[in-house]
Amino acid sequence: MPKRGDRNKILERELLRKRGFGMLSQNVPKAEIARTLDIDYKTVYNWELRLRKNGPDAWRDREHKGPKRKMTDAQRKKLVKILLKGAKRYGFDTELWTLKRVAKVIKREFNVTYNVTHVWRVLQDLGFSAQVPLKHALERDEDRIREWLEERWPEIRKEAKKSGSELVFVDESGLSNEPNVARTWAPKGSRPKLKHSAKQSKLSFISAVTMDAELFFSVYPHGITGAEVILFLDLLARRIPRMMLLWDNASIHRSEEVKEYLYMSRNEVETRRFPAYAPELNPDEYVLAHLKNRELANFCPENEEEMKLGLRKAIARMMREPEFIKRLMLGSPLFKGKI
Protein backbone atom coordinates (compact mmCIF):
# COMPACT_ATOMS: atom_id res chain seq x y z
CA MET A 1 0.00 0.00 0.00
CA PRO A 2 1.40 3.43 -0.92
CA LYS A 3 2.37 5.76 1.92
CA ARG A 4 0.30 8.87 2.64
CA GLY A 5 2.72 11.17 0.78
CA ASP A 6 2.79 8.81 -2.20
CA ARG A 7 -1.03 8.63 -2.29
CA ASN A 8 -1.23 12.43 -2.36
CA LYS A 9 1.17 12.57 -5.30
CA ILE A 10 -0.83 9.93 -7.16
CA LEU A 11 -4.05 11.89 -6.57
CA GLU A 12 -2.52 15.15 -7.83
CA ARG A 13 -1.16 13.39 -10.93
CA GLU A 14 -4.54 11.79 -11.67
CA LEU A 15 -6.45 15.07 -11.30
CA LEU A 16 -4.03 16.83 -13.66
CA ARG A 17 -4.36 14.03 -16.19
CA LYS A 18 -8.14 14.08 -15.87
CA ARG A 19 -8.20 17.79 -16.75
CA GLY A 20 -5.96 17.11 -19.73
CA PHE A 21 -8.18 14.25 -20.95
CA GLY A 22 -11.21 16.52 -20.70
CA MET A 23 -9.52 19.22 -22.76
CA LEU A 24 -8.39 16.65 -25.35
CA SER A 25 -11.97 15.36 -25.61
CA GLN A 26 -13.06 18.94 -26.39
CA ASN A 27 -10.43 19.12 -29.17
CA VAL A 28 -8.36 21.78 -27.41
CA PRO A 29 -4.98 22.06 -29.21
CA LYS A 30 -2.21 20.12 -27.48
CA ALA A 31 0.07 23.18 -27.34
CA GLU A 32 -2.62 25.14 -25.51
CA ILE A 33 -3.17 22.28 -23.05
CA ALA A 34 0.57 22.17 -22.32
CA ARG A 35 0.64 25.96 -21.64
CA THR A 36 -2.52 25.92 -19.52
CA LEU A 37 -1.45 22.98 -17.34
CA ASP A 38 2.22 24.00 -17.34
CA ILE A 39 3.43 20.64 -18.60
CA ASP A 40 5.60 19.35 -21.43
CA TYR A 41 4.04 19.04 -24.90
CA LYS A 42 5.25 15.41 -25.11
CA THR A 43 3.22 14.58 -21.99
CA VAL A 44 0.04 15.83 -23.69
CA TYR A 45 0.94 13.80 -26.78
CA ASN A 46 1.30 10.64 -24.66
CA TRP A 47 -2.03 11.41 -22.98
CA GLU A 48 -3.68 11.56 -26.41
CA LEU A 49 -2.32 8.11 -27.31
CA ARG A 50 -3.47 6.76 -23.95
CA LEU A 51 -6.94 8.27 -24.41
CA ARG A 52 -7.35 6.74 -27.87
CA LYS A 53 -6.12 3.32 -26.76
CA ASN A 54 -7.81 2.92 -23.36
CA GLY A 55 -10.79 5.28 -23.39
CA PRO A 56 -11.90 8.31 -21.31
CA ASP A 57 -11.26 6.61 -17.93
CA ALA A 58 -7.59 5.98 -18.70
CA TRP A 59 -6.61 9.12 -16.72
CA ARG A 60 -6.41 6.92 -13.61
CA ASP A 61 -3.04 5.50 -12.57
CA ARG A 62 -2.62 1.87 -13.45
CA GLU A 63 -1.89 -0.47 -10.57
CA HIS A 64 1.63 -1.84 -10.84
CA LYS A 65 1.81 -5.25 -9.28
CA GLY A 66 5.12 -6.07 -7.68
CA PRO A 67 6.83 -9.44 -7.85
CA LYS A 68 5.05 -12.29 -6.12
CA ARG A 69 6.27 -12.96 -2.59
CA LYS A 70 8.41 -16.04 -2.17
CA MET A 71 7.01 -16.57 1.35
CA THR A 72 3.31 -17.10 1.99
CA ASP A 73 1.42 -15.29 4.76
CA ALA A 74 1.41 -18.49 6.80
CA GLN A 75 5.18 -18.82 6.45
CA ARG A 76 5.68 -15.19 7.47
CA LYS A 77 3.57 -15.76 10.60
CA LYS A 78 5.61 -18.83 11.45
CA LEU A 79 8.82 -16.83 11.02
CA VAL A 80 7.56 -14.22 13.50
CA LYS A 81 6.84 -16.96 16.06
CA ILE A 82 10.34 -18.37 15.63
CA LEU A 83 11.95 -14.95 16.05
CA LEU A 84 9.92 -14.14 19.16
CA LYS A 85 10.94 -17.40 20.83
CA GLY A 86 14.60 -16.38 20.56
CA ALA A 87 17.72 -17.39 18.69
CA LYS A 88 18.97 -19.79 21.41
CA ARG A 89 15.65 -21.60 21.41
CA TYR A 90 16.13 -22.19 17.70
CA GLY A 91 19.62 -23.60 18.21
CA PHE A 92 22.05 -20.67 17.94
CA ASP A 93 24.60 -20.16 20.70
CA THR A 94 23.50 -16.59 21.57
CA GLU A 95 20.20 -14.68 21.63
CA LEU A 96 21.21 -12.25 18.88
CA TRP A 97 19.21 -12.33 15.67
CA THR A 98 21.41 -11.25 12.77
CA LEU A 99 20.34 -10.92 9.14
CA LYS A 100 22.49 -13.94 8.23
CA ARG A 101 20.85 -16.03 10.96
CA VAL A 102 17.36 -15.06 9.85
CA ALA A 103 18.30 -15.88 6.26
CA LYS A 104 19.40 -19.36 7.45
CA VAL A 105 16.09 -19.85 9.26
CA ILE A 106 14.11 -18.86 6.15
CA LYS A 107 16.14 -21.24 3.98
CA ARG A 108 15.90 -24.12 6.46
CA GLU A 109 12.19 -23.71 7.27
CA PHE A 110 10.73 -22.62 3.93
CA ASN A 111 13.40 -23.45 1.34
CA VAL A 112 13.44 -19.79 0.31
CA THR A 113 16.72 -18.02 -0.42
CA TYR A 114 17.05 -14.31 0.37
CA ASN A 115 20.12 -12.12 0.46
CA VAL A 116 20.67 -10.16 3.69
CA THR A 117 19.34 -6.94 2.13
CA HIS A 118 16.01 -8.55 1.35
CA VAL A 119 15.91 -10.20 4.80
CA TRP A 120 16.17 -6.68 6.22
CA ARG A 121 13.15 -5.64 4.10
CA VAL A 122 11.18 -8.69 5.24
CA LEU A 123 11.90 -7.96 8.90
CA GLN A 124 10.92 -4.31 8.45
CA ASP A 125 7.66 -5.41 6.82
CA LEU A 126 6.97 -7.77 9.74
CA GLY A 127 7.35 -4.92 12.25
CA PHE A 128 10.89 -5.70 13.43
CA SER A 129 13.73 -3.20 13.77
CA ALA A 130 17.42 -3.40 14.69
CA GLN A 131 17.77 -2.63 18.41
CA VAL A 132 20.38 -2.78 21.15
CA PRO A 133 19.23 -5.46 23.62
CA LEU A 134 18.94 -4.74 27.33
CA LYS A 135 21.47 -6.56 29.48
CA HIS A 136 19.88 -8.75 32.14
CA ALA A 137 21.93 -10.54 34.78
CA LEU A 138 21.60 -14.32 34.86
CA GLU A 139 20.90 -14.01 38.59
CA ARG A 140 17.69 -12.05 37.96
CA ASP A 141 14.57 -13.51 39.51
CA GLU A 142 11.90 -12.48 37.01
CA ASP A 143 9.06 -13.79 39.18
CA ARG A 144 10.35 -11.84 42.17
CA ILE A 145 10.68 -8.67 40.11
CA ARG A 146 7.16 -9.07 38.70
CA GLU A 147 5.77 -9.68 42.18
CA TRP A 148 7.58 -6.60 43.51
CA LEU A 149 6.14 -4.45 40.71
CA GLU A 150 2.59 -5.71 41.05
CA GLU A 151 2.33 -5.97 44.83
CA ARG A 152 5.20 -4.33 46.72
CA TRP A 153 5.46 -1.10 44.71
CA PRO A 154 1.77 -0.14 45.22
CA GLU A 155 2.24 -0.84 48.95
CA ILE A 156 5.29 1.43 49.09
CA ARG A 157 3.34 4.29 47.50
CA LYS A 158 0.56 3.84 50.05
CA GLU A 159 3.06 3.71 52.94
CA ALA A 160 4.72 6.93 51.77
CA LYS A 161 1.38 8.70 51.46
CA LYS A 162 0.24 7.50 54.88
CA SER A 163 3.44 8.65 56.61
CA GLY A 164 3.61 11.93 54.69
CA SER A 165 6.97 10.97 53.16
CA GLU A 166 8.22 12.08 49.78
CA LEU A 167 9.42 9.25 47.55
CA VAL A 168 13.04 9.76 46.47
CA PHE A 169 14.89 7.50 44.02
CA VAL A 170 18.65 7.30 44.64
CA ASP A 171 21.50 5.94 42.53
CA GLU A 172 25.26 6.27 42.05
CA SER A 173 27.32 6.47 38.88
CA GLY A 174 30.62 7.67 37.49
CA LEU A 175 32.09 9.69 34.66
CA SER A 176 35.40 9.24 32.87
CA ASN A 177 37.29 11.50 30.49
CA GLU A 178 36.89 8.65 27.98
CA PRO A 179 34.10 10.12 25.81
CA ASN A 180 30.66 8.55 25.49
CA VAL A 181 30.75 8.40 21.72
CA ALA A 182 27.58 9.38 19.85
CA ARG A 183 26.99 9.72 16.12
CA THR A 184 27.63 12.98 14.31
CA TRP A 185 27.40 14.20 10.71
CA ALA A 186 30.60 14.38 8.67
CA PRO A 187 31.61 14.25 4.99
CA LYS A 188 31.44 10.76 3.47
CA GLY A 189 34.71 8.88 3.67
CA SER A 190 36.07 11.23 6.33
CA ARG A 191 35.40 9.69 9.72
CA PRO A 192 35.60 12.38 12.46
CA LYS A 193 38.04 12.02 15.34
CA LEU A 194 37.44 12.81 19.00
CA LYS A 195 40.65 13.86 20.67
CA HIS A 196 40.76 13.12 24.38
CA SER A 197 43.39 12.81 27.04
CA ALA A 198 44.98 9.39 27.45
CA LYS A 199 45.45 10.13 31.14
CA GLN A 200 42.53 8.60 32.95
CA SER A 201 40.40 10.84 35.17
CA LYS A 202 37.24 9.75 36.90
CA LEU A 203 34.47 11.40 38.86
CA SER A 204 31.88 9.67 41.01
CA PHE A 205 28.49 11.09 41.80
CA ILE A 206 25.42 10.20 43.78
CA SER A 207 22.06 11.48 42.59
CA ALA A 208 18.42 11.49 43.53
CA VAL A 209 15.17 12.38 41.78
CA THR A 210 11.77 12.94 43.40
CA MET A 211 8.33 12.15 42.04
CA ASP A 212 8.09 15.85 41.12
CA ALA A 213 11.25 15.53 39.00
CA GLU A 214 13.43 17.55 41.39
CA LEU A 215 17.10 16.57 40.93
CA PHE A 216 19.90 16.40 43.51
CA PHE A 217 23.57 15.66 42.82
CA SER A 218 26.83 15.41 44.74
CA VAL A 219 30.07 14.96 42.79
CA TYR A 220 33.35 13.52 44.11
CA PRO A 221 36.83 13.02 42.60
CA HIS A 222 37.02 9.55 44.17
CA GLY A 223 34.86 6.52 44.78
CA ILE A 224 31.73 6.86 46.89
CA THR A 225 31.78 5.34 50.37
CA GLY A 226 29.30 5.27 53.21
CA ALA A 227 30.60 8.67 54.35
CA GLU A 228 29.62 10.31 51.03
CA VAL A 229 26.21 8.63 51.17
CA ILE A 230 25.61 10.14 54.62
CA LEU A 231 26.67 13.60 53.42
CA PHE A 232 24.26 13.30 50.49
CA LEU A 233 21.40 12.17 52.74
CA ASP A 234 22.06 15.19 54.94
CA LEU A 235 21.79 17.38 51.84
CA LEU A 236 18.45 15.80 50.97
CA ALA A 237 17.18 16.13 54.57
CA ARG A 238 17.74 19.88 54.47
CA ARG A 239 15.45 20.13 51.43
CA ILE A 240 12.97 17.34 52.17
CA PRO A 241 11.70 17.17 55.79
CA ARG A 242 10.47 13.59 55.53
CA MET A 243 11.38 11.13 52.81
CA MET A 244 11.24 7.49 51.78
CA LEU A 245 14.32 6.44 49.83
CA LEU A 246 14.20 3.76 47.15
CA TRP A 247 17.61 2.40 46.20
CA ASP A 248 19.37 -0.83 45.36
CA ASN A 249 21.14 -3.26 47.66
CA ALA A 250 24.66 -1.87 47.07
CA SER A 251 27.20 -2.54 49.80
CA ILE A 252 27.61 1.18 50.58
CA HIS A 253 23.88 1.35 51.36
CA ARG A 254 24.36 -1.50 53.85
CA SER A 255 27.54 -0.20 55.50
CA GLU A 256 27.55 0.08 59.29
CA GLU A 257 27.90 3.87 59.23
CA VAL A 258 24.94 4.27 56.86
CA LYS A 259 22.85 1.87 58.95
CA GLU A 260 23.67 3.89 62.08
CA TYR A 261 22.77 7.17 60.33
CA LEU A 262 19.46 5.75 59.14
CA TYR A 263 18.65 4.50 62.63
CA MET A 264 19.38 7.90 64.15
CA SER A 265 17.26 9.57 61.43
CA ARG A 266 14.48 6.98 61.44
CA ASN A 267 11.79 9.60 62.18
CA GLU A 268 12.70 11.57 59.03
CA VAL A 269 14.15 8.97 56.67
CA GLU A 270 12.79 5.57 55.65
CA THR A 271 14.33 3.23 53.09
CA ARG A 272 12.96 0.63 50.72
CA ARG A 273 14.96 -1.52 48.31
CA PHE A 274 14.46 -2.42 44.69
CA PRO A 275 14.65 -6.15 43.89
CA ALA A 276 18.11 -7.43 43.04
CA TYR A 277 19.47 -7.12 39.48
CA ALA A 278 16.63 -4.85 38.31
CA PRO A 279 18.25 -1.44 37.65
CA GLU A 280 15.61 -0.67 35.00
CA LEU A 281 13.06 -0.13 37.78
CA ASN A 282 14.89 2.90 39.19
CA PRO A 283 13.70 6.12 37.46
CA ASP A 284 17.03 7.74 38.33
CA GLU A 285 18.74 5.27 35.97
CA TYR A 286 17.00 6.91 33.00
CA VAL A 287 17.97 10.40 34.16
CA LEU A 288 21.62 9.36 34.53
CA ALA A 289 21.60 7.58 31.16
CA HIS A 290 20.43 10.77 29.45
CA LEU A 291 23.02 12.81 31.32
CA LYS A 292 25.92 10.61 30.26
CA ASN A 293 24.82 9.50 26.80
CA ARG A 294 23.09 12.64 25.55
CA GLU A 295 24.03 15.74 27.53
CA LEU A 296 27.68 14.61 27.70
CA ALA A 297 27.84 12.74 24.39
CA ASN A 298 31.24 13.21 22.66
CA PHE A 299 32.40 15.26 25.67
CA CYS A 300 36.23 15.34 25.70
CA PRO A 301 37.50 17.28 28.75
CA GLU A 302 41.21 18.09 28.87
CA ASN A 303 41.48 17.71 32.65
CA GLU A 304 39.53 16.94 35.79
CA GLU A 305 38.46 20.54 36.36
CA GLU A 306 36.99 20.79 32.87
CA MET A 307 35.25 17.46 33.42
CA LYS A 308 33.71 18.75 36.68
CA LEU A 309 32.59 21.95 34.99
CA GLY A 310 31.03 20.11 32.04
CA LEU A 311 29.22 17.71 34.37
CA ARG A 312 27.82 20.51 36.53
CA LYS A 313 26.67 22.48 33.47
CA ALA A 314 24.92 19.41 32.08
CA ILE A 315 23.21 18.80 35.41
CA ALA A 316 22.12 22.45 35.58
CA ARG A 317 20.61 22.22 32.08
CA MET A 318 18.56 19.21 33.08
CA MET A 319 17.41 20.78 36.35
CA ARG A 320 15.83 23.61 34.37
CA GLU A 321 13.53 21.15 32.56
CA PRO A 322 11.47 19.21 35.13
CA GLU A 323 8.85 18.20 32.55
CA PHE A 324 11.57 16.64 30.40
CA ILE A 325 12.94 14.82 33.46
CA LYS A 326 9.46 13.43 34.08
CA ARG A 327 9.41 12.08 30.53
CA LEU A 328 12.75 10.37 31.19
CA MET A 329 11.39 8.86 34.40
CA LEU A 330 8.48 7.36 32.46
CA GLY A 331 10.95 4.88 31.04
CA SER A 332 10.70 3.01 34.34
CA PRO A 333 8.10 0.21 34.53
CA LEU A 334 7.03 1.72 37.86
CA PHE A 335 4.82 4.28 36.21
CA LYS A 336 3.29 2.49 33.21
CA GLY A 337 3.36 5.69 31.17
CA LYS A 338 1.97 7.98 33.88
CA ILE A 339 3.51 9.43 37.05
Q: What is the rounded radius of gyration, in angstroms, for the C-alpha atoms of the chain?
A: 31
Tens-place pLDDT, residues 308-332: 999 999 999 999 999 999 999 999 9
Are 236 and 302 found together in one domain? yes
Candidate from 6-20, 60-74, 113-127 with smallest mean pLDDT: 60-74
Tens-place pLDDT, residues 47-99: 889 888 888 888 877 655 556 788 999 999 999 999 999 888 999 988 889 99
> Does residue 2 sit within a domain?
no
Tens-place pLDDT, residues 144-200: 999 999 999 999 999 999 999 999 999 999 988 777 766 666 676 666 776 766 667
Are 242 and 171 found together in one domain? yes
Cα–Cα dist 327/317, whole Å: 15
- Give phi and psi for 322, each to the nearest 5: -60, -35
Are 304 and 209 found together in one domain? yes
Are 209 and 103 found together in one domain? no
Which residue in 211, 125, 228 sits closest to 169, CA to CA? Answer: 211
Please indicate, yes or no, whether the overall pTM of this predicted structure exceeds 0.85: no
Cβ burial of 81 (10 Å; 0-12, 13-18, 19+) is exposed
Mark 28-64 as b/e (b = at least 16 C-beta within 10 Å): eebeebbeebeeeeebbeebeebbeeeeeeebeeeee
Are 121 and 217 found together in one domain? no
> Does residue 298 sit within a domain?
yes
Are 107 and 78 found together in one domain? yes
> Does residue 318 sit within a domain?
yes
Are 208 and 115 found together in one domain? no
Are 108 and 162 found together in one domain? no
> Does residue 60 sit within a domain?
no
Tens-place pLDDT, residues 195-254: 766 667 789 999 999 999 999 999 999 999 999 999 999 999 999 999 999 999 999 999
Are 149 and 21 found together in one domain? no
Are 160 and 292 found together in one domain? yes
Are 252 and 299 found together in one domain? yes
Count structural domains, the chain: 3
Instruction: Please give the residue range of the domain that contains residue 36.
Output: 11-54
CATH number for the domain harbouring residue 278? 3.30.420.10
Task: Name which residue leads in pLDDT, 250 or 339.
Answer: 250
Cα–Cα dist 171/232, whole Å: 11
Are 294 and 155 found together in one domain? yes
> Does residue 303 sit within a domain?
yes
